[in-house]
Amino acid sequence: MPIESDADVVEAVCELREDEVLAWVGEQLELRPPLEIADALAAGLEQLGARFADGRYFIPELVMGGEIFAKAIELLTPALEASGSVLKKHGTVVMGTVKGDLHDLGQNLVSVTLAAAGFEVINLGCDVAPERFVAEVERTGAQVVGLSALLTTTMQMQAEIVDALAAAGLRDRVRILIGGAVANQRWADEIGADAYGADAIDALDKVKALVGINT
Amino acid sequence: MQPRLTFLNDMELDRIIDGAFEVLARVGVHIGSERVMDIVASQPGAQRDGERVTLNRDLVERCLKTCPAEIRLYRQDRDEPIVLAGDEVNFVAGSTVPYIYDPSSTGLREATSRDLVNHTKVIDRCDYIDLQSGSFVPSDVPKPIVSAYRYYLALLYSPKPMFSGAFGTDDIAVIWGVMSALAGGDRELSERPLALLCVNPSSPLGLTEVVAENAAFLAEKNFPMLMIPIPLAGGSSPVTLAGTLVQHTAENLATLVVSQTVRAGAPVIFGGGPSIMDMRKGTACQAASEAIMMGAAISQIAKRLNLPSSTNTGRADSKCVDYQAGEESGSALTSMALARINLIRGSGTLEYANVVSTEKLLIDNEICGMAKRLIRPIDTGDEALALDVIFERGTTTTGFLSSPHTLKWFKSEFFLPSDIIDRGQRREFEAQGSKDAFGRAQAGVQQILAEYEPRQIDTERKREADRIIAAYAKQHGMDQLPVTDIG
Ligand code: B12
């Protein structure tokens, strides 16, 4: 089915028709401002996220959709830069599993879910030292930092990172979200984090709330 | 005939094992410890490339040859060993969870040292659960000491062998100290292990600093090490079962190479918890059908490699002690017994190993008992075939109840569950308050705790264990541990 309208591109993104989406972006670049094209693509990604949330779509499809979106935006970038327009991103989130902890699947899942919803995600992987979180928040000006811990012994590291961000004078600039199997709201309160996210969908809701996007 | 659950024929097994050899030779493993990397990389057949090292087939096969095919564990109070080898089946209580199931609240609360103690008292009374596990990570002691304190409490409260793991490279030495004190010395402990320890390689193909160092530590002590890679198909390993098994086997083999190069002959167990990532919920699903299939495959692969085996499969994903939990643990524990896994973990666990229920443990204990019955063959010897009995009784109306044959055989031929499993009359059921299995297990737990009698333990040994754990607690800011007495 050829892509003839913005509604069609939403469907094409959802159906993961990568080649067609990228070809369409190429064609549209001749015809319209890049920001408009990006908006249409973003609507596709949002629709994909909605279908995931209501159970019709699965994680691998969500991830693949996110990648197609990223490739399409890459095609748009030169035109965006040339026209001096900026893509409106919801915000930047630095994510990672804390030092001493190697459980990275959960935070990866949260990262792809946030990325698929239009956030810029800096995924630092696992076993990430406090200094690294501080440096990345500083460098990227992220609005939110997400700390994952799955072990009783590494929860303490979440507390240390909260303190390290404060010591670096970044506490007012960045909201802190924690998660992982052993974390909970009580622990978030105790260590002075701003929120606790129980799973990827909850993480997305919490991040949106932290950056002030209404859902 | 020995009943047995298998999923792979010899050719299929070889394809998986050959695949694992190829993975180790081509991409190898990441080793996060420089010291251990040096030891492994200096072996003929190992080729270092940065933080990775490839291992050729000769090297891995050489290491396999030195691994013992049998491991013996000992209860503190008995001389006869628990054997991990061949077709032996042993059950292990589920472990290392932060939460205890609490039906009166949201379904869980953070576990304390007292919960751990009570749970251990119940494990001690579970006839079909062979190993204990200090199931909870207590929330009322400083975090760095949790694993050592778990070993201490569990081994005080039950003589059953303990299974769990260290969280780091510091606490493993303290765990060793506690065990050694209770065993009466390092040599005694190595000769008669009253516990075993796990290391968990990180999928894909990673041995972190802690894993590599602890594998080396256990090899140096000649102490049983259980290897637990947990590749989650589609998440941290290929989405296919065969692909996940190849990677899982490679992860076990790489860990075993560390062990054998540090000390040839050190005891290792081929184990793990390969499962799937639920593609809708993103959870580390523990009770999937595919976990059962891969669990049975682990047994076959381990037997082919001549190693003792273990599996995580037996855990439930349900949040409550309900029909789902029963279905999940019931089919998993039974299947893993039929697959002849030497160490089957999971009894008592819920919510993909985040929660343990003491009541569920008691119910699972019955499942383990039934599973142990299931793997005993149908005896078709003359006496069991009972032709004479049929000739004599089959033509009368007296039936078989009064036959001496019945009296002689009924206890050994039938598995008799406890009252947790309701097979009784309705009258009795109603008289006891029409309780379901969970209600009966609650009553069972209360009764066990009420009947508890402290066990006798050598005071010298206990004093030494007390000293070690108290010093460790103090080092981490706790002057008085919540529990140090048996009672
Ligand atoms: C897979 C696994 C491993 C793998 C990890 C491999 C990898 N590449 O990630 C391996 C085998 C390496 C491993 C090792 C260990 N593990 Co482990 N592991 C697990 C297991 C079975 C599943 C974790 C997982 O991947 N889940 C799937 C993901 C998608 O879910 P998730 O991580 O929970 O993430 C979701 C939410 O929590 C949330 N979330 C996560 N992060 C964040 C961050 C933010 C900001 C937000 C908002 C939300 C959020 O959203 C996610 C998506 O929905 C859990 C059991 C469990 N119930 O969690 C044990 C578990 C976490 N492990 C445990 C233990 C004890 C260990 C070891 C210490 C064992 C040992 N003695 O060696 C080692 C420690 C290694 C280390 N230093 O980190 C315990 C922890 C107990 C405790 N109280 O501390 C658990 C609970 C199992 C158990 N009962 O024994 N493990």
Intervals of CATH 1.10.1240.10 along chain A? 6-83
Distance CA(A63)–CA(A41), nearest Å, equals 15
Which CATH superfamily is A6-83 part of?
Answer: Methionine synthase domain (1.10.1240.10)
pLDDT score of B127 more than 90: yes
* A152:B232 CB<8 A: no
Residue B322: alpha-carbon gap to chain centroid? 22
Least confident of A102-111, B35-44, B288-297, B353-362: A102-111
Provide the pLDDT for residue B278: 94
Do residues B221 and B179 make contact, with C-beta atoms less than 8 angstroms apart? no
Mean pLDDT confidence for B108-113: 95
pLDDT score of B264 more than 80: yes
Q: Nearest Cβ partner of B202 from A102, A109, A199?
A: A102
Provide the pLDDT for residue A83: 84
CATH of range A92-210; options 3.40.1160.10, 3.30.70.141, 3.40.309.10, 3.40.50.280: 3.40.50.280
Distance CA(B111)–CA(B129), nearest Å, equals 21
Q: Is A177 in the pocket of ligand 1 (CB under 6 A)?
A: yes
Mean pLDDT across chain B, nearest whole number?
Answer: 96
Distance CA(B163)–CA(B246), nearest Å, equals 26
The residue to which tokens 């297990």 are assigned = B441
Intervals of CATH 3.20.20.480 along chain B? 68-245+263-374
Provide the pLDDT for residue A1: 73
Mean pLDDT confidence for B107-111: 92
- In angstroms, the separation between the Cα of residue A153 and the nearest Cα of chain B is 5
Task: Show residues of chain B in contact with A152, CB under 8 Å.
Answer: 98, 137, 139, 143, 146, 167
How many helices (H) and strands (E) chain B has is answered by: 18, 20
Mutate to test the interface with B, among A54, A62, A105, A190 (most CBs of B within 10 A): A105
- In angstroms, the separation between the Cα of residue A187 and the nearest Cα of chain B is 11
Tell me which DSSP letter residue A99 carries: T
Strand order from edge to edge, sheet including B225-227: B162-165, B195-199, B225-227, B268-270
pLDDT band at B246 (very low <50, low <70, confident <90, very high): very high
* Closest-lying ligand 1 atom to the alpha carbon of residue B199: 72
Residue B460: exposed, middle, or buried by beta-carbon count in 10 A (0-12, 13-18, 19+)? exposed
Distance CA(B195)–CA(B267), nearest Å, equals 13
Task: Show residues of chain A in contact with B234, CB under 8 Å.
Answer: 60
How do residues B408-429 score in pLDDT, each as one tens digit? 999 999 999 999 999 999 999 9
Provide the pLDDT for residue A214: 65
pLDDT score of B38 more than 60: yes
SS3 (DSSP) at A74: helix
How do residues B363-372 score in pLDDT, each as one tens digit? 999 999 999 9
pLDDT band at B444 (very low <50, low <70, confident <90, very high): very high
* A60:B279 CB<8 A: yes
SS3 (DSSP) at A69: helix
Size of interface A-B (CB pairs under 8 A): 43
**Tokens representing residue B37 in the block:** 């990397």
Mean pLDDT confidence for B43-61: 97
Q: Is A197 in the pocket of ligand 1 (CB under 6 A)?
A: yes
Q: How big is chain B, counted in residues?
A: 487
- Ligand 1 atom 74 nearest Cα: B167
Successive 10-residue mean pLDDT values, chain A, 215 residues: 91 96 96 93 90 90 90 91 78 96 92 87 95 97 97 94 97 96 93 96 94 76
Reference B247, options B280, B215, B275; nearest CA is: B275
Q: Nearest Cβ partner of B282 from A109, A153, A181?
A: A109
DSSP secondary structure string for all residues of B285-338: ESS-HHHHHHHHHHHHHHHHTT--BEE-TT----SSSSHHHHHHHHHHHHHHHH
- In angstroms, the separation between the Cα of residue B149 and the nearest Cα of chain A is 13
CATH of range B68-245+263-374; options 3.40.50.10190, 3.20.20.20, 3.20.20.480, 3.65.10.10: 3.20.20.480
Intervals of CATH 3.40.50.280 along chain A? 92-210
What are B's interface residues with A at a Cβ cutoff of 8 A?
Answer: 98, 137, 139, 143-144, 146-147, 167-168, 202, 206, 208, 232, 234-236, 277, 279-282, 284, 354
Say how many Å lie between the CA of residue A105 and the centre of ligand 1.
Answer: 8
Provide the pLDDT for residue B397: 77
Q: Is A148 in the pocket of ligand 1 (CB under 6 A)?
A: yes
Task: Show residues of chain A in contact with B112, CB under 8 Å.
Answer: none
Strand partners, B347: B93
| Conformation bin of residue B238: beta by default, left when phi > 0, alpha when psi is -120 to 50 | beta
Do residues B100 and B116 make contact, with C-beta atoms less than 8 angstroms apart? no
- The percent of residues above 70 in pLDDT, for chain B, comes to 100
* Secondary structure percentages of chain A, helix, strand, coil, to 5: 60, 10, 30
How do residues B354-365 score in pLDDT, each as one tens digit? 999 999 999 999
pLDDT band at B209 (very low <50, low <70, confident <90, very high): very high
Provide the pLDDT for residue A161: 98
SS3 (DSSP) at B276: strand
Say how many Å lie between the CA of residue A176 and the centre of ligand 1.
Answer: 20
CA separation (Å) from B333 to B30, B336, B343?
Answer: 33, 5, 11
Mean pLDDT confidence for B373-401: 93
| Conformation bin of residue B352: beta by default, left when phi > 0, alpha when psi is -120 to 50 | left
Task: Show residues of chain B in contact with A155, CB under 8 Å.
Answer: 143
